[in-house]
Amino acid sequence: MVIRFLFGVGEAGAFPIGDTVTFALDSAGRARFSRKASRHAGSRLAAALTPSLVVLLMVRYGWRTAS
């Protein structure tokens, strides 16, 4: 629980800080930041698609626990 709490504390500022930094940068800085933001969005997309992929794998191969 402590580790999960620390992850939450560390991740809590990701979106507010990202918005603030975007407004503070010049156009070149915004372009560099945008590339990083698209990677961040990709991680969110992967998190959204993964449960469906897991279900498909479970249907195809079954659910086996380690013995």
Domain count, the chain: 1
State the Cα–Cα distance between residues 18 and 35, nearest whole angstrom. 12
- The pLDDT tens digits for 5-52 are 888 887 777 667 766 766 677 777 777 766 666 767 777 788 889 899
How confident is the model at residue 53, as a pLDDT?
Answer: 92
In a domain? residue 45: yes
Domain assignment present for residue 66? The answer is: no
pTM of the model: 0.42
Dist. CA 43–CA 16, nearest whole Å:
17
Q: Tell me the three state secondary structure of residue 49.
A: helix
Residue 44 resides in a domain: yes
Q: 25, 33 in Cβ contact below 8 A?
A: yes
- Residue 8 domain-assigned (yes or no): no
Domain span holding position 36: 17-61
